[in-house]
Amino acid sequence: MAYKTIIEDDIDVLIAGAGLGGTGAAFEARYWGKDKKIVIAEKANIDRSGAVAQGLYAINCYMGTRWGENNPEDHVRYARMDLMGMVREDLAFDMARHVDSAVHQFEEWGLPIMRDTKTGTYLREGRWQIMIHGESYKPIVAEAAKKSADKVFNRICVTHMLMDDAKENRVAGAVGFNVRTGNYHVFKAKTVIVGAGGASNIFKPRSVGEGAGRVWYAPWSSGSAYGLMIDAGAKMTQMENRIVLARFKDGYGPVGAYFLHLKTYTQNCNGEEYESKWFPALTEMVGKEYLDTENQHLSHKPIPTCLRNHAFINEVNAGRGPIHMVTMEAFQDPHLEEIGWHNFLGMTIGQAVLWASTDVDPKYENPELTTSEPYVMGSHATGCGAWCSGPEDVSPDEYFWGYNRMTTVEGMFGAGDAVGGTPHAFSSGSFTEGRLAAKAACKYIDDGKAEGIRVSDQQIADLKAKIYKPMETYTVYRNEIVAGDVNPNYINPRQGLDRLQKLMDEYCAGFGVNYMTNDKLLKIGLKKMGVFGEDLENIAAQDIHELLRAWELKHRFLTSEAVFQHTLFRKETRWPGYYYRGDAMKLDDENWHVLTVSHRDRNTGEYTMMKAPCYHLVSDGEE
């Protein structure tokens, strides 16, 4: 195939994927690396790429220390409680102590942040959320990234890391292809910051046909953060911690502003409050430390997201669905009604489209809610991602190896969904993590850690052959059949995605089996994944667009395999409402109050699973 090889050499900091994490990294890298070469490679256009492409109506992570609202440790405690204890608290604390400075800069750059007219502070939606008019959130931060970067390569799908041929386990850049021209792009870099995204569309979605695009997390979030890092041999953590969302049915419109700001609430089909009746049994499952039914209302501790899901799922299974969001009270206030609509237009337009098409006026009708298919990501109420070093002044020895946000592969850093154990970072926290990674990457270079990197022509040639193989397969076998997509020699990316989603749903606790799995199911699933992996060697792409889908699928596959391995490893039900291990239906602190860490051997594909200690922040004098 006559695709050109285009080599970009002498890069200091390469950013692979520029959503909120990647743009934060590009912006900040310029400050610490005045004369460093900073390059972005992004599979879409950074003006509208990543999970925030559509906009946001809230920034969900803002401390407000300037107004004495919260301290970083308050946020850590909140995230810990929400994730049933499983958080990298060093990373979470570090993010939280810097996040406000990012938000204050956003406001300076022109992002409209709403103010409380009485106090002059930012208008709070909830304790951590502030309300914004964020239609142009992404174009604004992209502008900042463009000002800092030497070059922005839009429409480059990064498929693999380049590895140093001189030193084991050290990164040397990345490769990919241009989804317009088809050309092969080689980025030789001293450091790489992975800003790519988490994974939608790896579990069978509730929607069928066209609606499969209306996933909760963006359909272009192809798990590339994990695919790239796992393939490079990085250790991963908490990959079992997938998230299920309770959202407006079909449109998956956000509920945060509805609950927190509009004060809407849920009820079952009979108009009854249903959550509390499931709590006593749930306390039995998870223990009083995590759900204290009697004292919860006194302590004002919010109920963990997964446990609220649990009540939802059980109420529906008991035959009292659907669950409704009671909007009819709040929407009588014209101001709140307007906010309710703006909320969708700002971040999930499809929900507004759905209500317009089904004539659902929430002023006169309480809309239905549903629980979504699971998603794998690391910046919402879940913390999947790479096992990264924390900052020197916070992290204990097990969590620290020299450079903040560096993965276990030398020179490869993470931000946003890429970093594991840091839930509740959201947009602002992801941007902040990018900034932290950028400073550390510059220091890594200045310390001489990237000296003597060598990339052989052989490695570059091998990766090129690998990347275009799906097109080769198509060319070779296409004419064996008359027409159509049914071919005994290959499957196309859509067919492969369908198989992945079915497998994940049935064996790895998707919505189709009520989020339930067990040891036996997981082992069968893994066996089938192994065979599927072989078939992925025979995936065919008829054009460059399909080649993009083929590589997205391969990244989704690597992500899914890690999810299987981690889910099998953690023999307990830590997050009822996200998933259940039917053979271990209780939370088991005695054996599993630990973070799970995996390593996939680059050469053999073999997985090794480990437990890592879970450190918690305690106030001096408190035990």
Partner 1 sequence: MPTFVYMTRCDGCGQCVDICPSDIMHIDKTLRRAYNIEPNMCWECYSCVKACPHNAIDVRGYADFAPLGHSVRVNRDEEKGTIAWRIKFRNGKKDFDLLAPITTKPWGTAIPQLANESAPSQEMRDSHLLFNEPKYIQLDKDGKDSLHTLKSNGLTLKAGVYY
336: how many CB neighbours lie within 10 A of its CB?
Answer: 19
For partner 1, the closer of residues 393 and 606 by Cβ is: 393
Handedness of CA 423, 219, 230, 408 (dihedral sign): negative
Decide the pairing of beta strands 130-134 and 56-59.
antiparallel
For partner 1, the closer of residues 223 and 346 by Cβ is: 346
For partner 1, the closer of residues 522 and 544 by Cβ is: 544
Minimum CB distance to partner 1, residue 346 (Å): 7
Contact 420, 10 (CB under 8 A): no
Burial class for 615, CB neighbours closer than 10 Å (0-12, 13-18, 19+): middle
Tokens matching residue 140? 């604004």
First to last CA, the chain: 65
For partner 1, the closer of residues 46 and 521 by Cβ is: 46
Tokens 């759900």 found at: 291
Minimum CB distance to partner 1, residue 45 (Å): 5
Using alpha carbons, select from 439, 446, 441 the residue that is nearest to residue 31. Answer: 439
Minimum CB distance to partner 1, residue 29 (Å): 9
Torsion-angle region of residue 577: left (phi > 0), alpha (psi -120 to 50) or beta? Answer: left
| Cα 434 from Cα 46, distance rounded (Å) | 15
**Residues 84, 524, 555, 349, Cα dihedral to 10°:** -60
CA distances from 466 to 188, 460, 472, 480, 558 (A): 18, 10, 10, 23, 16
Minimum CB distance to partner 1, residue 8 (Å): 19
Minimum CB distance to partner 1, residue 294 (Å): 18
| Cα 388 from Cα 394, distance rounded (Å) | 13
Question: In this structure, what DSSP letter does residue 130 have?
Answer: E
For partner 1, the closer of residues 30 and 170 by Cβ is: 30
For partner 1, the closer of residues 467 and 568 by Cβ is: 467
Q: What is the DSSP string of 413-461?
A: EE-GGGBTT-TT-HHHHHHHHHHHHHHHHHHHHHTTTTTT----HHHHH
| Cα 280 from Cα 471, distance rounded (Å) | 56
Minimum CB distance to partner 1, residue 396 (Å): 6
Minimum CB distance to partner 1, residue 600 (Å): 26
Contact 381, 423 (CB under 8 A): yes
| Residue 83 φ/ψ, nearest 5 degrees | -95, 20
Using alpha carbons, select from 213, 49, 75 the residue that is nearest to residue 139. Answer: 49
Minimum CB distance to partner 1, residue 467 (Å): 16
Minimum CB distance to partner 1, residue 452 (Å): 23
| Cα 281 from Cα 300, distance rounded (Å) | 20
Burial class for 107, CB neighbours closer than 10 Å (0-12, 13-18, 19+): middle
For partner 1, the closer of residues 279 and 399 by Cβ is: 399
* E strand spans, 24-100: 38-41, 56-59
| Cα 267 from Cα 249, distance rounded (Å) | 14
Tokens matching residue 470? 């799906």
For partner 1, the closer of residues 19 and 374 by Cβ is: 19
| Residue 593 φ/ψ, nearest 5 degrees | -80, 60
For partner 1, the closer of residues 253 and 420 by Cβ is: 253
Tokens matching residue 94? 């570090």
Minimum CB distance to partner 1, residue 179 (Å): 6
Minimum CB distance to partner 1, residue 154 (Å): 8
| Cα 594 from Cα 614, distance rounded (Å) | 5
Half-sphere exposure of 553 (CA within 13 A, CB side): 29
Minimum CB distance to partner 1, residue 113 (Å): 9
| Cα 5 from Cα 539, distance rounded (Å) | 23
For partner 1, the closer of residues 350 and 533 by Cβ is: 350
Tokens 């022109």 found at: 110
For partner 1, the closer of residues 34 and 168 by Cβ is: 34
For partner 1, the closer of residues 31 and 272 by Cβ is: 31
| Cα 560 from Cα 499, distance rounded (Å) | 12
3-state secondary structure of 446: helix
Contact 445, 513 (CB under 8 A): no
For partner 1, the closer of residues 96 and 189 by Cβ is: 96
Contact 415, 6 (CB under 8 A): no
In the beta sheet, which residues pair with residue 344? Answer: none
